[in-house]
Amino acid sequence: MPALDARIQGPGFMSVGVSALPPVLQVACAHCGSRVARERVRAARDSFCCEGCEAVSGILRSRGLTGYYSLRERGGSLRRPAPAPQLDRSYAYLDDPAFRKLYASDAGEGALQMAFFAEGVHCAACVWLLEKLPEFVPGVRSVSLDLGSSTAVVRVPPSGSFAEAAREFHRLGYRPHPVRGTEQEELQARENRRMLIRVGLSGACTGNIMLLAFAVYGGADGSWARLFNWLSFVIFLPVLFHGAVPFYQEAWRALRRRQISIDVPIVLGIAVGAAASFANLLSGSGHVYFDSLSALVFLLLSSRYVMRRAQQGALHSTKLLHFLAPSVVRRKRVQAPPYEEISMDLLQPGDLIEVRPSEPVPIDGIVTSGRSHLNRALLTGESDPVAVGAGETVFAGTVNLDSVLEIRVQASGYATRLGAILRAIETGQGRKAPIVNLTDRISRYFVAVAVALAGAVFAWGAWSSGWQEGLNRALAMVIVTCPCALALATPLAMSVAIGRASRQGMLIKGADALERLASADSVYLDKTGTLTSGEFGVLEWSAAAGREREAERAALALEARSNHPVARAIVRHLSAKGAPEAGAIAEVHDFQERLGRGVSGRIGGVAYELRQAEPGASGTEVVLSAGGETIARIALGDQLREGAREAVERLRASGLEPAILSGDAEGPVARVAAALGIPADKTHARATPERKSELIRGEARALMVGDGANDAAALSSAYVGVAVHGGMEVSLRAADAYLARPGVGPVLELVTAARESMKVVRRNLAFSLVYNVIGGGAALLGWVDPLFAAVLMPLSALTVFVSSIAGTRTMRRALR
Amino acid sequence: MSVITVMLPLALLLGFGFTAAFIWMAAKGQYDDLETPAYRLLLEEEPAETGSQRKA
């Protein structure tokens, strides 16, 4: 029964009683929850948004795995589920020995393991489903899924098949992409573990020292007090010589660059505190501060660890988006079957590969057969499709639009034009000047003030109550003003912001990026793919009076028979308008398609022709004529995204002056600028990647938003760069933040989040300075003893912690 | 105060033991993934349920 149960309470609420509801109501897909198109809604049964989801749901039911739905309802979700992809590949290349050598590793106990990025993993139910794989795929030993990075590690015996497991992943709706662990990641993981050990060790020591210190505060004296203090000292040693090491390293690094970072006053505090306490311990008189010092180290280490994990979480997801470039290609073979799937890594120059319509071109090469159009928007920013035929050179990073191309590989990977850009980004060419973050700016003054004050306290104490007392007060001053809360203020606030933003599909690469985002004052927007959809579409449709229906009918009938990008745009436009009544497409006689010119044919005895007009300033135009008489003119081009105008308006209102920076021709750029109300002097067309980069470098505080490879250099040299949804890997790497949602709308949200988190940082800094003033004042008057320090420090840390978690009201609204 | 001569070493020993266990676990990578185990917890009851379904 549980299976049936799950079906009803799981996705059921969307489907039960659909027939009784008015047809306008939206129906959600029983598998993924997406909206179901009207014609797919079924009255009595579950409705699905696509074939893929229906197939997955069928598989789940037939294998008795419907527990997936009930779990998903209960478990809560990280992300929204997505419609399931259809099985369109064999994954045979996964079992190719050459591929295995690159991607698989020894899992011990005679098993091999391979890691996959599982696209679409989003909740506890996904964990359950994928980790159950060994139960119904014989030959798979185990699967373990890491939800945070959507990575599944599959283990099989050496004779087993990764392809079979991958096909099952795909069938269940998670498209798998093999990932190769890099050395850098391993180093990172090892560093994480080392850091966690420091945190844990410092925490344990702090707890034990506090117990002992508490006894002393509580009144233990004489030999007991001495024993407890000595024990505290012994337990403090691991903190001093292991836990706090990162601070020494950081402080040393800063000093060597002749800079002061926040680590310098921290190390000063720790060193003075430890030395003074040890001296007092030996002499048997005076205060020891081991408890406060180890608590300080523990709190600071924890906040840095949390910050590190939050940052890595954001970076991890971006990095894994590398499947934007296809990792698998179809290579032509001499024997049957004519094509085999192989990994990009194994492709050699001279190989022949096949690229189907709507697939990206994975390499640089020469077309050997086929004729098609390419969308080069991501590589160059051009919005109009470009025709290619045999003998012409094509580049990685373009997308094949209408028909199959066979291409001879000339260069792949880093050897391509795209690869060269990627390498330039990786090696840090055109990297921006580093900014000194707010905390470090403050700590410069902080050290000076603290040292000066300590000197003053010593002088005043020595004058009023003897040099011994003066020294004690000065030491207490340095210890109690050690900027614990100050050092916590930034990482806490920022890791909260980065974590929340990443749940909203805004991945921020680090604290630095957040600070830059908050202080940008102008925004440069790429046009193609950012402000516009990057796809060819109908912009304007003007038909002669009284002949509107005829024009639509004829255009649809003719263009439905063609594969040209213009034809496909027109068909898309008309079907979106609901033009084909009941799906009827008129019959065409004598249909003719002339390459690069247009199509013609006779419908109901009338000769119609759709002809491409001479390219004018405003882009592509198509003329429809009936018996020689023009009855409609259709303008085509790249369409402005929905909401782009409002988004740009809101950016302007928030103090970011918008400008356009595009690699496209003047015509389309001017059109978009006019629609958005951006003045001509803020509009730059035909900008090469170098020009973009140069222009943006000239702006002190410009936020650059882009998606393509041609934006990458500009994104990395801008004050702050944001890559938008649908962009290329190279632009993601170059940018400081990435938006997983399309369009420019989320840019404002991102900036708002950054500004609000900087407000929290400033508030935190203010709190911590207040505490330091209190501590400093108390030290001046000689009130500071270990108990005072032990209360003040956690209290200030707690204030900062609560302030960070609470955020601001605007931030809570923007990022829930 | 004599009880403290027993309690103190005992407490310290306990603390030391758990710290050592923690270091061992962290070094083995048990804390590498902090997200999935929270969800995996929800799956505890499942095996019996699916077992009966698979027969059907």
- Check A193 against B29: CB less than 8 A apart: yes
Instruction: Please give, rounded to a whole number of angstroms, the shortest distance from the CA of A278 to a CA of chain B.
Output: 21
Tell me: do A69 and A116 sit in the same domain: no
| Interface pTM, i.e. ipTM | 0.80
Instruction: Please give, rounded to a whole number of angstroms, the shortest distance from the CA of A203 to a CA of chain B.
Output: 9
- Check A204 against B35: CB less than 8 A apart: no
Tell me: do A372 and A239 sit in the same domain: no
Residue A677: domain span: 506-532+642-756
Q: Per the domain annotation, does A482 fall within a domain?
A: yes
- Check B22 against A128: CB less than 8 A apart: no
Q: Which two tokens stand for residue A343?
A: 């990994």
A107 interfacial to chain B (CB closer than 8 Å): no
What are phi and psi for residue A634, nearest 5 degrees? -125, 120
**A350 exposure class (CB count in 10 Å sphere: 0-12, 13-18, 19+):** exposed
What does DSSP say about strands A683-684 and A506-508: parallel, antiparallel, or unpaired?
A: unpaired
Instruction: Please give, rounded to a whole number of angstroms, the shortest distance from the CA of A286 to a CA of chain B.
Output: 24
Residue of A55, A3, A4, A2 whose CA lies nearest to A29: A55
Which of A263, A402, A526, A711 is catalytic? The answer is A526
Instruction: Please give, rounded to a whole number of angstroms, the shortest distance from the CA of A148 to a CA of chain B.
Output: 6
Contacts of A131 in chain B (CB under 8 A): 40, 43
Residues 6+ apart with CB under 8 A from A10: A66, A68, A69, A70, A72, A73
Final residue in a domain of this structure, among A30, A49, A75? A75
Q: Which residue of A has its CA nearest to B5?
A: A224
Tell me: do A309 and A387 sit in the same domain: no
Dist. CA B48–CA B56, nearest whole Å:
13
User: How many structural domains comprise chain A?
Assistant: 5
CATH label of the domain that carries residue A746: 3.40.50.1000
Torsion over CA of A421, A425, A426 and A431, rounded to 10 degrees? 160
Q: Which residue of A has its CA nearest to B23?
A: A197
- Check B46 against A196: CB less than 8 A apart: no
Q: Which residue of B has its CA nearest to A235?
A: B12
A118: region left, alpha or beta (phi > 0 left; psi from -120 to 50 alpha) = beta
Label residues A770-780 b or e (16+ Cβ within 10 Å = b).
Answer: ebbeebbebbb
DSSP-derived 3-state class of residue A682: helix
Q: Is A526 a catalytic residue?
A: yes
Dist. CA A537–CA A543, nearest whole Å:
17
Q: Is the peptide bond before A689 cis (omega within 30 degrees of 0)?
A: no
Q: Which two tokens stand for residue A522?
A: 């102008």
- Check B26 against A127: CB less than 8 A apart: no
User: How many structural domains comprise chain B?
Assistant: 1
Tell me: do A749 and A763 sit in the same domain: no
Instruction: Please give, rounded to a whole number of angstroms, the shortest distance from the CA of B42 to a CA of chain A.
Output: 7
Contacts of B31 in chain A (CB under 8 A): 193, 196
- Check A189 against B42: CB less than 8 A apart: no
- Check A147 against B35: CB less than 8 A apart: yes
Dist. CA A510–CA A32, nearest whole Å:
32
A285: region left, alpha or beta (phi > 0 left; psi from -120 to 50 alpha) = beta
Q: Which pLDDT score is estimated for A2? A: 37
Cβ pair A552, A579 in contact under 8 A = yes
- Check B31 against A196: CB less than 8 A apart: yes
* Percent composition of chain A: helix, strand, coil (DSSP 3-state, to 5): 55, 20, 30
Residue B43: domain span: 4-55
Of B40, B49, B56, the CB nearest to A127: B40
Q: Per the domain annotation, does A163 fall within a domain?
A: yes
Dist. CA B23–CA A449, nearest whole Å:
39
The helix (H) or strand (E) run that includes residue A88 is: none
Q: Pick from B10, B18, B43 the residue to mutate for testing the A interface (most A CBs within 10 Å).
A: B43
Dist. CA A130–CA A127, nearest whole Å:
5
pLDDT along chain A (816 residues), means of 10: 34 36 60 73 74 77 78 61 68 83 82 84 79 84 83 88 88 81 77 93 94 86 88 95 94 88 89 92 87 92 88 63 62 77 83 87 90 85 84 89 90 83 71 72 83 86 83 84 83 86 81 89 89 83 84 85 83 76 69 81 87 69 86 86 89 92 86 89 88 87 88 88 80 83 85 91 89 86 83 86 84 70
User: What DSSP character marks residue A791?
Assistant: H
Dist. CA A254–CA A250, nearest whole Å:
6
List, in sequence order, the alpha helices (H) in A239-342.
Answer: 245-256, 263-283, 290-319
- Check B35 against A193: CB less than 8 A apart: no
Dist. CA A587–CA A598, nearest whole Å:
18
Q: Which amino acid is at A581?
A: E
- Check A146 against B35: CB less than 8 A apart: yes
Tell me: do A653 and A749 sit in the same domain: yes
Q: Tell me the HSE value of A563 on the side-chain side, using a 13 A CA sphere.
A: 13
A189 interfacial to chain B (CB closer than 8 Å): yes
Tell me: do A675 and A723 sit in the same domain: yes
Q: Per the domain annotation, does A575 fall within a domain?
A: no
Q: Which residue of A has its CA nearest to B13?
A: A208
Residue of A437, A387, A399, A294 whose CA lies nearest to A708: A399
Dist. CA A530–CA A676, nearest whole Å:
13
pLDDT band (50, 70, 90) for residue B51: very low
Tell me: do A526 and A664 sit in the same domain: yes
Tell me: do A301 and A442 sit in the same domain: yes
**A280 exposure class (CB count in 10 Å sphere: 0-12, 13-18, 19+):** middle
Residues 6+ apart with CB under 8 A from A812: none
Q: Which residue of A has its CA nearest to B18?
A: A204
Contacts of A71 in chain B (CB under 8 A): 42-43, 46
A75 interfacial to chain B (CB closer than 8 Å): yes
CATH label of the domain that carries residue A404: 2.70.150.10
Q: Which residue of B has its CA nearest to A228?
A: B8
Dist. CA A522–CA A658, nearest whole Å:
6
pLDDT tens digit string along B22-43?
A: 999 999 888 888 778 877 777 6
Q: Which pLDDT score is estimated for A358? A: 80
User: What one-character-per-residue DSSP string does A507-574 give?
Assistant: EE--HHHHHHHHH--EEEE-IIIIIEEEEEEEEEEEE-TT-HHHHHHHHHHHHTT--SHHHHHHHHHH
Dist. CA A34–CA A53, nearest whole Å:
10
Tell me: do A712 and A792 sit in the same domain: no
Q: Which amino acid is at A539?
A: L
CA pseudo-torsion sign A318, A321, A327, A329: negative
With tokens 């949602």, the residue in question is A741
Q: Which residue of A has its CA nearest to B51?
A: A64
A528: region left, alpha or beta (phi > 0 left; psi from -120 to 50 alpha) = beta
Tell me: do A256 and A289 sit in the same domain: yes
Dist. CA A539–CA A528, nearest whole Å:
15
Q: Which residues pair with A522 in a beta bridge?
A: A657, A702
* Percent composition of chain B: helix, strand, coil (DSSP 3-state, to 5): 75, 0, 25
Residues 6+ apart with CB under 8 A from A151: A115, A116, A117, A118, A145, A179, A320
Q: Which pLDDT score is estimated for A206? A: 94
- Check B15 against A204: CB less than 8 A apart: yes
- Check B49 against A193: CB less than 8 A apart: no
Contacts of A128 in chain B (CB under 8 A): 43, 46
Chain mean position to CA A251: 31
Q: Which amino acid is at A258?
A: R
Residue A58 CB neighbour total at 10 angstroms = 13
Contacts of B39 in chain A (CB under 8 A): 75, 123-124, 127, 147
Dist. CA A158–CA A113, nearest whole Å:
9
Indicate the angle between helix axes A548-559 and A565-577, nearest 10 degrees: 130
A168: region left, alpha or beta (phi > 0 left; psi from -120 to 50 alpha) = alpha
Final residue in a domain of this structure, among A149, A181, A213? A181
Final residue in a domain of this structure, among A128, A158, A181? A181
Q: How far is CA A356 from CA A9, A396, A407, A559, A757, in A?
A: 42, 14, 11, 20, 46
CA pseudo-torsion sign A663, A667, A668, A673: positive
Of B29, B34, B39, the CB nearest to A127: B39
User: What DSSP character marks residue A615?
Assistant: P
Q: Which two tokens stand for residue A460?
A: 């005043």
Instruction: Please give, rounded to a whole number of angstroms, the shortest distance from the CA of B49 to a CA of chain A.
Output: 7
Q: Which residue of A has its CA nearest to B27?
A: A193
Contacts of A147 in chain B (CB under 8 A): 33, 35-36, 39
Q: Per the domain annotation, does A591 fall within a domain?
A: no
Dist. CA A402–CA A362, nearest whole Å:
16
- Check A64 against B15: CB less than 8 A apart: no
Instruction: Please give, rounded to a whole number of angstroms, the shortest distance from the CA of B11 to a CA of chain A.
Output: 9
Q: Which pLDDT score is estimated for A208? A: 93
Tell me: do A384 and A465 sit in the same domain: no
Q: Tell me the HSE value of A355 on the side-chain side, using a 13 A CA sphere.
A: 36
**Order of strands, edge to edge, in the sheet holding A629-640?**
A532-543, A629-640, A620-626, A606-612, A598-603, A589-594
Q: Which pLDDT score is estimated for A653? A: 93
Tell me: do A51 and A105 sit in the same domain: no
- Check A148 against B33: CB less than 8 A apart: yes
Q: Per the domain annotation, does A330 fall within a domain?
A: yes
Torsion over CA of A530, A532, A534 and A535, rounded to 10 degrees? 160
Cβ pair A617, A600 in contact under 8 A = no
What does DSSP say about strands A657-661 and A683-684: parallel, antiparallel, or unpaired?
A: parallel
User: What one-character-per-residue DSSP string does A391-457 give?
Assistant: T-EE-TT-EE-SS-EEEEEEE-GGGSHHHHHHHHHHTTTTPPPP---HHHHHHHHHHHHHHHHHHHH
Dist. CA A485–CA A155, nearest whole Å:
46
Q: Which residues of B fall below an 8 Å CB-CB distance to A?
A: 1, 4, 8, 11-12, 15, 18-19, 22-23, 26-27, 29, 31-36, 39-40, 42-43, 46, 49-50, 52-54, 56
Q: Per the domain annotation, does A570 fall within a domain?
A: no
Contacts of B22 in chain A (CB under 8 A): 197, 200-201, 204
Q: Which two tokens stand for residue A469?
A: 């007392």
